[in-house]
Amino acid sequence: MQTIKAAVCRAFNQPLVIEDVQLANPGFGEVEVTLDAVAICHSDISFAEGAWGGHLPAVYGHEAAGVVTGLGEGVTGFAEGDTVVVTLIRACGSCPNCAGGKPTICETPYDGVKGPLSAADGEPVLQAMACGAFAEKVVVSARQIVRIPEDMGRDVACLLSCGVITGVGAAVNAAGLRAGQDVVVIGAGGVGLNAIQGARIAGARRIVAVDMTEEKLEVAREFGATDGVLATGPKPWRAAMKALGGRGADAVMVTVGAIGAYNDAPRYLGWGGKVIMIGMPHAGAMAEYEPMAASFQGHGFIGSKMGDVVIQRDIPWMIDLYQQGRLKLDELISGRWTLDQINEAIADTKTGAAKRNVILFDREAG
C-alpha cells in the first residue's frame, strides 16, 4: 500500500478534489504503472456529472500512458521499466466474448469499488472504468496494457487508449468499411475525428462530417473529411446526400451522445446502409426511428464499444500508421495541463472546442 495524489469525485456535478489516496500493490495478474500522461475523455465528464450513476467517491480517467513500476504474481510478457499505454478494456480472456475475439464486451464483471483505491481513512474509492487514471499511479490487469516505443511521447501515446481506438476501430472493425464506400460521421470531436481518419485509412470514397460549427468542420477536413455539413441547417441529411452524389451513405457513424443525432442518423443512410452507434447518451435517454424504413431498405444498427478492438493487435498497428505519418495524433492535442489544473481542463473540454486535453505528470518534481 502506498500514498499517491489523485483527482477524486466526491459529489456529482462538483469540481474534482486533489487529495491523497491509498493504492494497493498489484495482485495476481496485475501491474502497477506510474503515469506520465492521461487525456480527458467526455466519458469521464459524463460520469463525473452523474449521467450513469455509480459509487462515490471515485477516481475517473482512462486514457493513460506511463512506465511499468510493479508486477504482480503471474504476470509474463512485461518488465519493470516498460513504456505502456493503459486502457479501460479489462478482459478476462476466457468468457465466450473474449474467446470469440471480442474483448471489449467481456462478460466477466469487475467491481471497481473493491479495486486498489481507498481514501486516507480506509473508505473504498471507486476505480472507475477499471482504470482510475486521474492519479499519479494505477494498478490494472496486465491485459489492459500494451507496450509502446520508449521514444514515443506519452502525451501522444495516451490518446491511443480510448479516443483513437474507438474512432478508428469503429470505422475498420464495426462498420467494416471497404474501399469506395461512402461515410457520414456525426460529430467532429475527438472520437469523430478518429472515425474520419479510420474511414480515410479504409479507403472510403467520400467522408461527410456533420457538426454544429464551421470551425469544427474545417478541422474535420484536415483529418480526412471530403465534405462538411452543418447540423444546424434545415434537413442536413439532404446536404450530405448531395455531397454523396444523390445517394445515402453506406455507414453513418454517430460519435456524440446526443439523442437528436441518433434520431437523424438513419436519414443519412442509403439502401443497405448501417448506423454505427458509438456515442453514449445519458442512461435512460431514448431515440426513435421508423422500423418500416429500416426493414424495407435493409438498414442495420450496430453498437460499437471501444471500436471493437483487440488492443494487443490494433494498437501496435495504429502506432505503425502514426510513425508512417498516416495517422494524426499530435494534432489531436488541444492543451496540456497539470493534475492541479484538472478542473480547468475539464471546463475547457466541455466548451466543445477542444479535441483532447491532456494532463501531464511531472514525476521528477513529484
Pairing of strands 145-147, 2-8: unpaired
E strand spans, 243-324: 249-254, 269-277, 300-303
pLDDT beyond 60 at 363:
no
- The pLDDT score that the predictor gives to residue 353 is 78
Task: Tell me which residue of 86, 70, 63 sits closest to 23, measured CA to CA.
Answer: 70
pLDDT band at 354 (very low <50, low <70, confident <90, very high): confident
Q: What tens digit of pLDDT does each residue of 265-274 get?
A: 999 999 999 9
Q: Are the C-beta atoms of residues 98 and 92 closer than 8 Å to each other?
A: yes
What is the number of alpha carbons within 13 Å of residue 158 lying toward its C-beta? 29
Backbone φ and ψ for 288, nearest 5 degrees, come out as -130, 145
pLDDT band at 283 (very low <50, low <70, confident <90, very high): confident
Dihedral (Cα; 198, 202, 206, 207), 10-degree rounding: -10
**Are 2-161+328-360 and 168-306 in the same CATH fold?**
no
pLDDT beyond 70 at 16:
yes
Per-domain residue ranges of the chain? 2-161+328-360, 168-306
Q: What tens digit of pLDDT does each residue of 29-81 get?
A: 999 999 999 999 989 999 999 988 899 999 999 999 999 999 999 999 999 99
Backbone φ and ψ for 63, nearest 5 degrees, come out as -120, 90
Helix 214-222 and helix 190-202, axial crossing angle in degrees, nearest 10: 40
Residue 186 Cα to chain centre, angstroms: 16
- The pLDDT score that the predictor gives to residue 342 is 97
Q: Name the superfamily (CATH) of residues 168-306.
A: NAD(P)-binding Rossmann-like Domain (3.40.50.720)
Please state, in angstroms and rounded to a whole number, the distance separating the CA atoms of residues 50 and 124.
18
Please state, in angstroms and rounded to a whole number, the distance separating the CA atoms of residues 39 and 158.
7
pLDDT beyond 90 at 352:
no
- The pLDDT score that the predictor gives to residue 172 is 97
Please state, in angstroms and rounded to a whole number, the distance separating the CA atoms of residues 76 and 205.
43
Give the global pTM: 0.93
- The pLDDT score that the predictor gives to residue 366 is 31
DSSP 3-state of 366? coil
Q: What tens digit of pLDDT does each residue of 205-229 get?
A: 999 999 999 999 999 999 999 999 9
pLDDT beyond 80 at 190:
yes
pLDDT beyond 80 at 362:
no
Q: What tens digit of pLDDT does each residue of 159-172 get?
A: 999 999 999 999 99
- The pLDDT score that the predictor gives to residue 323 is 97
- The pLDDT score that the predictor gives to residue 365 is 34
- The pLDDT score that the predictor gives to residue 41 is 92
CATH class of 2-161+328-360: alpha beta
Q: What tens digit of pLDDT does each residue of 244-263 get?
A: 999 999 999 999 999 999 99
pLDDT beyond 70 at 364:
no
Please state, in angstroms and rounded to a whole number, the distance separating the CA atoms of residues 65 and 157.
6
- The pLDDT score that the predictor gives to residue 90 is 96
